[in-house]
Amino acid sequence: MSANDDRDPLFRYDDPVFADERLLEITHLPGPDRIVGRDEQMQRVADALNPAIFGSEPNHLFIFGKTGTGKSLISRSVTQRVITEAEHDDITVRYAFIDCGEQNTEASIVKTIAQIVNEPDASGVTVPDRGLGTGDYYKRLWQAIDHCTDVTIVILDEIDMLEDDEVLRKLSRAGENRRISDSSIGIIGISNKIDFPDHLSERVKSSLSRDELVFSPYDANQLVEILEKRRDAFHDGVLSDDVIPLTAALAAQEHGDARKAIDILRNAGRIAKKRNETRVTADHVRDAKEKTEADRFNELIEGSPQQAKAILYSLTLLTENSSEKEFPTKIIYNQYKEVARRLDFDVLSERRVQEILQEQNFLNVIQSEREGRGRGRGAHAKHRLLENPSIVKKVLLRDSRLAVLEDEA
Ligand SMILES: Nc1ncnc2c1ncn2[C@@H]1O[C@H](COP(=O)(O)OP(=O)(O)OP(=O)(O)O)[C@@H](O)[C@H]1O
């Protein structure tokens, strides 16, 4: 009798495809031996953080680069190594990783850092989820930092999404202004907008001295190497020979994006598994690419109101039916009026449609440019979709209110 005979036959207990799927999770932090082609950047981050090993203040650092170029990975990996190294000398380094896309107000950022760093027994304070004003959260943060750490490293991912950059000034000046006395703070800001520092307020610009570092996209060979080092996520012999090169080539098409490469590989495995197949093939990879792009786009527009989806749908129709890629607000508005009527939606004003287009620009769903030069605002902007229209359409039609458009089409 096998060990599984007494298990409930309703469930599966073996996984014929994956040996360890967690290796392909985006939040998984791979060991240094699995990191490819980033030695120079790792050294630069290590140089900035080096003083922390001795309990001194690290240099602040801004990292720029397109999505999936390893900015978060290298920041977290080097910070982890700093923590381990500092422990040898009984120095306590802690780090808080904040996604400013999700938490963009000063109060929520300060609260989250305090909650991560704080140990109530050591600091004598608690950090409640709600009920305190920003000033009180700062006070508790300073207490937590002083009593629980020697150095706190704050990693602010998507730093360009910050509602107000005052938090940068306060964190970077905390020692100088004697908010904290026994401890120090280092900031790593991550962004895919290289012009982000130009948008900082003058107060922050002058107070936050920092190093800057740019991560370039990977080439297809580097992506192959990154994926090869995660091959053990699958059982031996499951991946056909062409799977990794094809995945890398597809992910390198726009820019060499390791996040996309890993997502496609994982989705290919999941698709094979769902179809009860024990080998992952090129066909699975092609289907996985489409699924990955649709999921990503879905993430971007998930919280958008249905009116915004109707506007995007209008831009998609225009893109599909024309050799042009960019359309002025006015043309999109005319198309939108027709779509809104078909959907039985109230028709918004042109001004409101323009505002929604601007918001979608901010979410990186579309790109808006003024006629002439520069990022676009106002009535004279032109807008274009940043994703393949067939994928956008598919995702938009997942919304039950918009699905009727498919039947009509
Ligand atoms: N050099 C590398 N070696 C191994 N894996 C990598 C490398 N660069 C990135 N990855 C993997 O690719 C995925 C995306 O990386 P990461 O999140 O660091 O990118 P990012 O530049 O911060 O992107 P985003 O701007 O979208 O947050 C992660 O799973 C990460 O482990």
> How confident is the model over 362-394, as pLDDT tens digits?
777 888 887 654 444 555 789 999 888 999 998
- Cα(58) to centroid(ligand 1), Å: 23
* Domain extents in the chain: 37-215, 218-300, 303-408
Summarised one tens digit per residue, pLDDT across range 327-347 is 999 999 999 999 999 999 999
Q: 70 in ligand 1 pocket by Cβ < 6 Å?
A: yes
CA dist., res. 197 & res. 189, Å (int): 10
Task: Please give the number of the atom of ligand 1 that sits closest to the Cα of 75.
Answer: 18
Look at the block and give the residue holding tokens 């499951």: 238
Residue 376: per-residue pLDDT: 45
- Cα(386) to centroid(ligand 1), Å: 21
CA dist., res. 70 & res. 76, Å (int): 10
CA distances from 397 to 87, 298, 387, 392, 405 (A): 53, 11, 15, 9, 8
CATH 3.40.190.10 fits 218-300, yes or no: no
Task: Please give the number of the atom of ligand 1 that sits closest to the Cα of 69.
Answer: 21
CA dist., res. 294 & res. 301, Å (int): 11
Q: 161 in ligand 1 pocket by Cβ < 6 Å?
A: no
Q: 65 in ligand 1 pocket by Cβ < 6 Å?
A: yes
- Over residues 87-112, the mean pLDDT reads 93
At the topology level, CATH places domain 37-215 in Rossmann fold (3.40.50)
Spatial CA neighbour of 89 closest among 145, 44, 51: 51
> Cβ-count burial of 66 within 10 angstroms (0-12 exposed, 13-18 middle, 19+ buried)?
middle
Average pLDDT for the chain? 90
Phi-psi domain of 276 (left: phi exceeds 0; alpha: psi -120 through 50; beta: other):
left
Q: Which helix (H) or strand (E) holds 99?
A: strand 93-99
Q: Quick check: ipTM above 0.90?
A: yes
Q: Are 169 and 68 in contact (CB under 8 A)?
A: no
Q: 68 in ligand 1 pocket by Cβ < 6 Å?
A: yes
- Cα(154) to centroid(ligand 1), Å: 18
Total H helices, total E strands in the chain: 16, 8
Handedness of CA 377, 383, 388, 393 (dihedral sign): positive
Q: What is the CATH number of domain 303-408?
A: 1.10.10.10
Summarised one tens digit per residue, pLDDT across range 65-98 is 998 999 999 999 999 999 999 999 999 999 999 9
Summarised one tens digit per residue, pLDDT across range 145-171 is 999 999 999 999 999 988 888 899 889
> Cβ-count burial of 390 within 10 angstroms (0-12 exposed, 13-18 middle, 19+ buried)?
middle
Length of the chain equals 409
Spatial CA neighbour of 245 closest among 222, 266, 216: 222
Retrieve residue 10's tokens: 């309703």
Summarised one tens digit per residue, pLDDT across range 116-129 is 999 988 888 899 99
Q: 100 in ligand 1 pocket by Cβ < 6 Å?
A: no
